[in-house]
Amino acid sequence: MNVKKNEFLSYVILDELRDNTFEEIYEKAESLYHDGKISETDLKHIATYIVGINQVFLQHGENNYTVRQATLEDVDALVDMVAFWASQGQNLPRKKSDIVRNIQSFAVCVKDRQVLGCACLYVYDSGLAEIRSLGVSPVVQRQGQGRAIVQFLLRRARKMFIDRVFVLTRSPEFFGKIGFKLTVKEKLPEKILKDCDNCPKKDKCDEIAFIYELNE
């Protein structure tokens, strides 16, 4: 079957469904049912579709991990992941309160309800965005989770009509592999003003700047 993506999505993506989990969609249907707005048959149809979709993904998922929006239930795991990679000098440390306040900007990769990786998308005043706090558990490195988290955040950025996403990193091979292009920090004045100007490593910075153009 030749499914044309945009044609197809224009039928199925209603604003009410956009960015909702299956659980939330089912809850919405349940409340419509309880309010007498849809029939029991409609509710059963919705449940059957959700179960069907889940089964297809389960059968074809190679690693059975999933990337989703972070919630407050993930905070302790996020705090541990960020602290671990900060202790290794790979990421900046962040306070729990900062993570809680910015929870909507985080995505997590989970398997069997365990957080295996995370990152967040920070949007600057100018509309440029940065991927920060990216880290994957040391026990599951090189199994695709890092790429999946970054791709999730790039999709999120695209939905917000963000044009460019950058990262400052000591893992240049990884970002090169997943389609980011080398750039120079001087082209990222927002970052320089926000963090670099106050950084103790300002004059001997060992981070490399990469950028992803979403409109190319």
Ligand X SMILES: CC(C)(COP(=O)(O)OP(=O)(O)OC[C@H]1O[C@@H](n2cnc3c(N)ncnc32)[C@H](O)[C@@H]1OP(=O)(O)O)[C@@H](O)C(=O)NCCC(=O)NCCS
Instruction: Using CB under 6 A, pick the residue from 111, 144, 156, 179 that binds ligand X.
Output: 144
Quick note: the x/- pattern for ligand X over 96-135, rule CB under 6 A, is: --------------------------------------xx
Q: Are 186 and 125 in contact (CB under 8 A)?
A: no
Looking from the CA of 127 toward its CB, the CA atoms found within 13 Å total: 9
Minimum CB separation from ligand X for residue 65, in Å?
Answer: 10
Of 29, 167, 208, 211, which lies in the binding site for ligand X, with binding defined by CB under 6 A? 167
192 vs 55: CA distance, rounded Å: 47
210 scored as a contact of ligand X (CB under 6 A): no
The torsion defined by the Cα of 101, 135, 203 and 176, in degrees rounded to 10, comes to: -120
Q: How far apart are CA 96 and CA 78, in angstroms?
A: 9
Does 173 bind ligand X (CB under 6 A)? Our answer is yes
Q: Which of 65, 78, 85, 166 binds ligand X (CB under 6 A)?
A: 85
Task: Count how many Cα atoms sit within 13 Å of the Cα of residue 204 in the half-sphere of its side chain.
Answer: 1
**Interface region with ligand X, contact rule CB under 6 A, candidates 19-27, 67-75, 83-91, 194-202:** 83-91
- Helical residues (DSSP H) of 169-213, grouped into ranges: 172-177, 189-194
Interface residue with ligand X, options 177, 181, 187, 202 (CB under 6 A): 177
Q: Tell me how many helices (H) and strands (E) the chain has.
A: 8, 7
Selected binder of ligand X within 69, 151, 171, 183 (CB under 6 A): 171
Q: Considering the rule CB under 6 A, would residue 145 count as an interface residue with ligand X?
A: yes
Interface residue with ligand X, options 30, 83, 90, 192 (CB under 6 A): 90
Nearest distance from residue 138's CB to ligand X, in Å? 8
Give me 157's structure tokens: 């950025």
Write the DSSP symbol of residue 94: -
**Which residues contribute to the site for ligand X (CB under 6 A)?**
85, 90-91, 134-136, 141-147, 167, 169-171, 173-174, 177-178
